[in-house]
Amino acid sequence: MRSTNYNTPKLGYSIREACQASSLGRTTIYKAISTGRLRAVRVGGRTIIPAESLHTLIAGEA
């Protein structure tokens, strides 16, 4: 059975993925979370950054 790749947009990013997608370092990502400029949610044991929050930060709107 063949799987189909639909290239669906990401709803959220792990810390590592957020760093890669934004070209920001881990310290910068964590600082943005702690100051409230970047929203993060805990799902199980993982920290997930909603895509729209990361886009807002990068756009300079946060």
Calculate the alpha carbon distances from 15 to 5, 6, 11, 35, 44 in Å.
24, 24, 13, 16, 14
- Which tens digit of pLDDT belongs to each residue from 5-56? 678 889 999 999 999 999 999 999 999 999 999 999 999 999 999 999 999 9
pLDDT recorded at residue 32: 97
pLDDT recorded at residue 16: 97
In this structure, are residues 51 and 14 in contact, taking their beta carbons and an 8 Å threshold? no
pLDDT recorded at residue 1: 59
For 8-21, give the secondary structure using H, E and C: CCCCEECHHHHHHH
For 18-46, give the secondary structure using H, E and C: HHHHHCCCHHHHHHHHHCCCCCCEEECCE
Confidence of residue 3 (pLDDT cuts 50, 70, 90): low
